[in-house]
Amino acid sequence: MKLKHFWNRGFTLIALILGLWLVVDLVSHLVAEIFWFEEVGYLTAFLLRLKTQFILGAIAFLLTATFLLGNLTLAARLKYSSIDSGASLILPNQKTLNPSPPWQEKFQEAVIPKNGVTWRWLLPIVMLLSLILGLMLLYYGQIILGFWHNNINVTAITSTVPSVFKLSSILEQVQDLKSKLPVITTWSQLLLQVGQLLLLVGIILAIASNHQFVLIAIALSLSLFYTLVLSSNWSKFLLYFQPTAFNTIDPLFKNDISFYIFSLPVWELLDFWLRGLFIFALIAVALNYLLSGNSLSEGKFIGFSQQQLRHLYCISCLLMFEMAFHHWLARYQLLYSTRGVTYGASYTDVEVQLRVETALIFLSSAIALLFLWQRLFLSLDKKVIKPITISLGLFIVLAFTGNLLLPRVVQLLIVQPNEISREKPYIERSIAMTRKAFALDNIEVETFNPDNRLNDSDIQQNRLTIDNIRLWDTLPLLKTNQQLQQIRPYYQFIDADIDRYTLKVAQDNLTNNAQNQTANPNSKNQQVLIAPRELNYDSVPTEAKTWINKHLIYTHGYGFTISPVNTVGAGGLPDYFVKDIGTGITDAGTLKTSGENIENSIPIGKPRIYYGEIANTYVMTSTKTKELDYPSGDENVYNIYDGNGGVKIGAWWQQLLFAEYLKDWQMLLTWNFTPETKLLFRRNIIERIQAIAPFLRFDSDPYLVVADANPDKEQDNYLYWIVDAYTTSDRYPYSDPGKYDFNYIRNSVKVVIDAYNGSVNFYIADSQDPIINSWISIFPDLFKPLNTMPVTLKSHIRYPVDLFSTQSERLLTYHMTDTQVFYNREDQWRIPNEIYGDKPRAVEPYYLIMKLPTAESEEFVLLLPFTPIQRNNLIAWMAARSDGQNYGKLLLYQFPKQELIYGPEQIEARINQDPVISQQISLWNRQGSRALQGNLLVIPIEQSLLYVEPLYLEAEQNSLPTLVRAIVVYENRIVMAETLEKALQAIFQPPKSTTPAIIRPVE
């Protein structure tokens, strides 16, 4: 007894310690998050999100636990009791020396066969019900794993409501889990399948051995599961209560699109919740009754009592009403059907499936009412039982034939023989709704008819375009930066971004610039590549990876490079405008510029990067240990952070709090902290903005901007990150998502992050988007109008490549608006290929400074050419505008179909077939180096097309790419020269013949 008492007290003590630890961990996490959101200025938004999650979680847990445990408690009262071991169960006709109370005898009136259910049927029924519960838990387990495997990648944020529990969805979840787990060998798949099988067997055996305890444990687990699911979908509930009308109705049910975007996901969550709730309750209660009274050991179940039947009828009534609700929602799911020739409800869906779903609604409701009647007026008369049996049988037959058999027969015998006539109105719907959802209906379509009259005068008149033709690609520039500008191993250039800057013109170029740019002859727009020099702690030597170095010394990157896209420096290297880190007395810590005009045009200051794309460590600043600022020759220069970022941790309790939050207990042991010490965490800019606004989808390419956006600030830092953010949905009716997990997208927000202070601002870029307007109603302090963005930053916003690529991919098919042409796919387009390096790949969208055919001056545009699906000639090109009032406008220029316009693949073939060019490339490839072909640019100038491709030379070892040639193609002329200017001169200024004329006398 003493030993048992000791173990009980020990178990209680351990439980208390674990509970206290969990509470401390939860509270520390919550308080640390509050401090962080207070630092970034969005505490109100976080508290609203937290309150919503708490309310949803509390409602889900309380209602689920109350309903399930209440039914299990009632079942425990109504179940058959057992007598001492070895005795038989008390049957209705038996007398006992210890008779049960009258109320229990009433409950124990058996109502199904007098002989009961024998072992032959009882065991399979119990195993089947237990198996369904096991599969249900396995299915929900896959959903939980989906939460854990879900990362914050900007291309996979759209959350989908889990499907309701049904046997067919189990296999889908298992396959999805396999795809997420790293497959090393076939043994891993086998192990996964064996583990799932053992889990099912374990659940069945546990229920058979101690069903009451196991069912209560499952009920509590389900309560926690639904708490997690509903609270994690907090954004859907907030949008549900703050909808914004789209002012567009779906063509089938005549609802505003807002119903499908804001309301339908919540109704589906409710459907998911109630389905699992009622199925588990029904099975758990039935198992409680079937396993009561030692039925398994006795080998017989005597039958359900009247009160037990009333209980089962009540739950069955709720389940059938839920089925009716499910089929009501299934009608709207037809708008996302993939059965027909295009996306959305097709002929078969509307004429057959919709009617089946409607019939199932009424049939489910009728069955539910019959169960309710039986619950209120229990009768064992066959005249009452028979309608229930018939209705259930009819429901099963209709559900099977209506969902599987009948639609296939109609599709095969009625639709396919006359598919175009049957599907025409539905094809029209899909085309119209897809174009609207992806904003393709806003594209201005023009005809571009090349006249091939480009001459030297046109070249000079379009000098700004010529001077901004991109010869340097991102990849060779980054390789060169790693060799020439990395300076130290722990610095890294992970990306280079295209942007444009307004540069003041040097005096010796002032006259020429005045001739070519009369708007402002003192400055010119220059397209550049900007690459930030970030600190990558993973590259620090292993011997130097100490706690102090990681969190106190290696705190930030320093500087950037800027180089024009069109010029070449000595030896074929980039012609940097900004580079290096100054080490002299007068320029210590500043970046070197190529001239006074660059220094006056681009603010440099002290370009420290505390927040960036690879800033994945948390750091402590204002400590007794100075931070590494930048290298200076053989030594280092150190600095103390004086920015506004970070959470103060000078007090001991703050250090204790964040030591627990970060699980870094060395914070409590170090002597380096001061009362002014601050903790900077979530320094990765994507993680930072994702934490603030997890309901937005973020672009995959943040870009750095150098601008004097805050003249009043004290710090000498001018670096900002701009990230495009999108509102997306997968619920736009009839909109074909293609290969994406969304079928509606808008670039609604521009996010600006201060690279030094870490401040974050969200600017509304598309005020017409209903989704972002709903979020503005929910979080009014989170967003700012775009016109409040500093002008120096606003001049650098650009049409995002991710959005443009998405729209381009959808346009390949959905530029066809004629149903007959669409059905036959007569005019399908594709994105052409190019030779990059020495391998083919799809052409990527590229930025240009050019004058559009319908524009009056040059502007910054994003461009992509298209070719027909089975041919290589150009069919069209699309441009997205990025400047001023024209920002966001899309233009599509289509070529006449009767004319042959060379496409990128044909130009690449002509380049590689040219004997002079191919011979030179072969020569370079034989001398310990290799020639790499860069991006082939198709450049519209006036009413003509110019093709430009750079050629790089790279050593096989110690790669340092150099730009050695520029290849220009115009009509049937191909020129390869050392510079773009020489190539253009060779085409448009051919040397005049100096051979004297031969004069013959006339006879």
Tokens read off for 338: 């993939």
pLDDT > 90: percent of the chain: 60
How many percent of the chain have pLDDT more than 70? 86
> What is the model's pLDDT at position 338?
92
- Residue 966 CA to residue 958 CA, distance in Å, equals 23
Q: Is the pLDDT of residue 432 over 80?
A: yes
Higher pLDDT, 948 or 396: 948
Q: What is the mean pLDDT of the chain?
A: 86
What's the pLDDT score for residue 204? 81
**What pLDDT is attached to residue 7?**
61
Extract the tokens encoding 661: 């939050």
Angle formed at CA 165 by CA 162 and CA 170, multiple of 5 degrees: 90
Report the C-alpha gap between 854 and 829 in whole angstroms.
24
Per-residue pLDDT, averaged over 64-69, amounts to 96
Q: Is the pLDDT of residue 849 over 60?
A: yes
Contacts with 436 (C-beta within 8 Å, 6 or more apart), sequence order:
248, 735
pLDDT at 530 over 90: yes
Return the closest-CA partner of residue 886 out of 798, 769, 802. Answer: 798
Least confident of 12-26, 262-276, 592-606, 939-953: 12-26
User: What is the arithmetic mean of pLDDT over 742-764?
Assistant: 96
Using a 10 angstrom Cβ sphere, with 0-12 exposed, 13-18 middle and 19 or more buried, the burial of residue 511 is exposed
Q: What local confidence, expressed as pLDDT, does residue 520 receive? A: 61
Judged against a pLDDT cut of 90, whether residue 952 lies above it is answered with yes
Looking up tokens 């969902």 gives 403
pLDDT surpassing 90 at residue 706: yes
More confident residue, 402 or 511: 402
Could you give the residue ranges of the DSSP H alpha helices within 210-243? 211-232, 234-241
pLDDT value for 192? 64
Q: With 60 as the cut, is the pLDDT of residue 999 above it?
A: no
Query: In this model, does residue 998 exceed pLDDT 50?
Result: yes
> Please, what's the b/e burial string for 587-613 (b: 16 or more CB within 10 A of its CB; e: otherwise)?
eebbbbbbeebbbebbbbbbbbbbbbb
The dihedral through the CA atoms of 727, 731, 732, 736 has a sign that is: positive
**Above 80 in pLDDT, residue 89?**
no
Q: How confident is the model at residue 184 (pLDDT cuts 50, 70, 90)?
A: very low
Model confidence at 176: pLDDT above 70: no
pLDDT of residue 103: 39
Structure confidence at residue 450 as a pLDDT band (50, 70, 90): confident
| pLDDT, average across residues 395-399 | 85
Locus of tokens 């039914």? 71
Structure tokens at 801: 């490549």
pLDDT tens, position by position, 665-677: 999 999 999 999 9
Contact yes or no for 967/918 (Cβ under 8 A): no
Backbone angles phi, psi at 772, to 5 degrees: -70, -30
* Gap between the Cα atoms of 688 and 760, Å rounded: 9
Burial class for 998, CB neighbours closer than 10 Å (0-12, 13-18, 19+) = exposed
The 10s digit of each residue's pLDDT in 544-556 is: 999 999 999 999 9
User: Which stretch of 115-129, 260-274, 792-806, 827-841 has the lowest confidence by average pLDDT?
Assistant: 115-129
- Confidence at 576, pLDDT banded by 50, 70, 90: very high
Q: Could you write out the DSSP letters of every residue in 837-888?
A: BTEEEEPPPEEEEE--TT-SS-EEEEEEEEEETT--S--EEEEEE-SGGGTT
Please answer whether residues 340 and 349 qualify as being in contact, where contact means their C-beta atoms are separated by less than 8 angstroms: yes
| Strand intervals (E) in 237-379 | 300-301
Structure tokens at 980: 């773009």
Structure tokens at 437: 């959802």
Q: Which pLDDT score is estimated for 152? A: 36
Alpha helices in 463-509 (DSSP H): 463-466, 474-484
Within 10 angstroms of residue 1's Cβ, the number of other Cβ atoms is 5
What are the boundaries of each domain within the chain?
A: 41-79+115-303, 305-417, 694-797
The neighbouring-strand residues paired with 503 are 524
**Alpha carbon distance 633, 581 (integer Å):** 10
- The predicted structure's pLDDT at residue 111: 46
Per-residue confidence at 149, pLDDT binned at 50, 70, 90? Answer: very low
Q: Which two tokens stand for residue 690?
A: 């994702």
Beta carbons within 10 angstroms of residue 91's beta carbon = 16
Residue 1002 has pLDDT above 50, yes or no: no
Radius of gyration of the chain from its Cα atoms, rounded to whole angstroms: 36
The yes-or-no verdict on residue 765 having pLDDT over 90 is yes
The CA distances from residue 784 to 43, 91, 685, 768, 972, in Å, are: 16, 75, 19, 14, 52
Burial zone of 405 (CB within 10 Å; 0-12 exposed, 13-18 middle, 19+ buried): exposed
Nearest to 697 by CA among 73, 37, 157: 157
pLDDT of amino acid 247:
94
174 has a pLDDT exceeding 70: no
pLDDT at position 959 is 79
Q: Higher confidence at residue 555 or residue 856?
A: 555
| Residue-wise pLDDT tens digits, 907-930 | 999 999 999 999 888 888 887 788
Q: Indicate the pTM of the whole model.
A: 0.89
Within 10 angstroms of residue 676's Cβ, the number of other Cβ atoms is 13
Q: What's phi and psi for 547, nearest 5 deg?
A: -65, -40
Instruction: Say if residue 83's pLDDT is above 60.
Output: no
Render pLDDT for 400-421 as a digit per residue (tens, 0 to 9).
Answer: 888 888 989 998 999 999 999 9
Is the model's pLDDT at 105 over the cut of 60? no
Residue 234 pLDDT level (bands cut at 50, 70, 90): very high
pLDDT tens track for 199-218: 778 888 888 778 888 899 99
Backbone angles phi, psi at 974, to 5 degrees: -125, 130
The span from the CA of 372 to the CA of 363, in Å, is 14
